Amino acid sequence: MSSPHTGLRSPRRFLVVVVVIAVLCGGVVGGAAGTFAAINIARDGHTAPTAGALGVSENSGLVPRLIARTNPSVVEIDTWFLGHRAVGTGVILTNDGLILTNFHVVSPARRIGVRFVPGQTPLSAVLVSAAPRADLAVIRVTTDGGLTPARLGDSDSLEVGQTVVAVGTSEGLHDSASLGIISALNRPVSVPEASTGLAPSGGVVTYDAIQTDAALNPGNSGGPLFDLDGRVIGINSAIYTPPDRAPVTGIGFAIPINTAKQIIHNLSTEGG
């Protein structure tokens, strides 16, 4: 467990918090409870009061149908490092096995496995593309095809107050879903970079996040944040945990999907 460090620019503009950076990557065996790292969150960005999901009560069947339709595109990612197992989530990109997730989910894992359904023996996966400073990675699992790729949305067209659904392996529980709204857009956050042989240690990951009040927990890292059309508009990555306090309910962060699209594009042009 690393010690939080501040790096404040202005005490009036920034708030120092602590984020579980297996941020939302849950340790489930052998005491691997997830490491902690400092994160700076700028107070600017478009915001709105947290008021719960809007406009859903009159469409009571909409969210269950969305979850049933999108679940086949969401996978559990198991990783092993120094005898410990941790769990995260991934989003299927192609029918032949490319999967998007957070970099911190698969770093510094010695072994990566993917489960498409609960209880399945994990299929071996390999890291094929990584953007450590964006906290994004693409892994590949060998299959015979037939997977269900997720539909990717446009995170530049989002609005504060818009209803969203987060899906993932929350606390190791496959296919967990939570409903919320977009609480803010373009929320600048910074976290120390995951240390691995693929990336220099001591760097900082900085991105303008989607803030949501949808419940996020360890295990959600790398999982999708859906809009009500079932399109992925963000990759769930972090939760707000003030120093010496329990995690704050209803303040979670996702990397905009348009940031991830560039990583995916680079992979395709490199012939990955």
Reduce the secondary structure of the chain to three states and give it as a string: CCCCCCCCCCCCCEEEEEEECCCCCEEEECCCCCCEEEEEEECCCEECCCCCCCCCHHHCCHHHHHHHHHHHHEEEEEEEECCEEEEEEEEECCCCCEEEECHHHHCCCCEEEEECCCCCCCEEEEEEEEEHHHCEEEEEECCCCCCCCCEECCHHHCCCCCEEEEEEEECCEEEEEEEEEEEEEEEEEEEECCCECCECCCCEEEEEEEEECCCCCCCCCCCEEEECCCEEEEEEEEECECCCCCCCCCCEEEEEHHHHHHHHHHHHHCCC
The most confident of 64-68, 168-172, 198-202, by mean pLDDT: 64-68
Same domain for 179 and 127: no
Give the residue with greater pLDDT, 199 vs 13.
199
Same domain for 120 and 236: no
Q: Which two tokens stand for residue 14?
A: 């920034």
Same domain for 244 and 118: no
Question: Is 135 considered catalytic here?
Answer: yes
Q: How confident is the model at residue 191 (pLDDT cuts 50, 70, 90)?
A: confident
Q: Confirm whether 232 is domain-assigned.
A: yes
Same domain for 256 and 180: yes
Q: What percent of the chain has pLDDT over 90?
A: 47
Average pLDDT of the chain to the nearest whole number: 77
Question: Is 221 considered catalytic here?
Answer: yes
Same domain for 183 and 100: no
Same domain for 97 and 27: no
pLDDT above 90: residue 85: no
Residue for token pair 């929320």: 187
- In angstroms and rounded to an integer, the radius of gyration of the C-alpha atoms of the chain is 17
Q: What was the pLDDT predicted at 10? A: 32
Average pLDDT value for residue range 10-39? 38
> Could you report the per-residue pLDDT of 228-254, keeping only the tens digit for each?
999 999 999 988 877 777 767 789 999
State how many domains the chain has.
2
Q: Confirm whether 2 is domain-assigned.
A: no
Q: Confirm whether 18 is domain-assigned.
A: yes
Among the three residues 129, 150, 171, which one is the final residue of a domain in this structure? 150
Give the C-alpha distances (Å, rounded to integers) separating 135 from 30, 57, 110, 225: 25, 35, 18, 16
Q: Name the nearest CA neighbour of 224 among 133, 55, 102.
A: 102
Among the three residues 89, 116, 150, which one is the final residue of a domain in this structure? 150
> Could you report the per-residue pLDDT of 102-146, keeping only the tens digit for each?
999 998 888 999 999 888 899 999 999 888 888 999 999 998 888
- Cα 7 vs. chain centroid, distance in angstroms? 24
Q: From the candidates 170, 178, 221, 237, which is the catalytic residue?
A: 221
Q: Confirm whether 221 is domain-assigned.
A: yes
Containing domain of residue 110, as a range?
Answer: 73-150
Q: Confirm whether 41 is domain-assigned.
A: yes
Q: From the candidates 73, 107, 129, 135, which is the catalytic residue?
A: 135
Q: How confident is the model at residue 33 (pLDDT cuts 50, 70, 90)?
A: very low
Distance separating alpha carbons of residues 168 and 259, to the nearest angstrom: 20
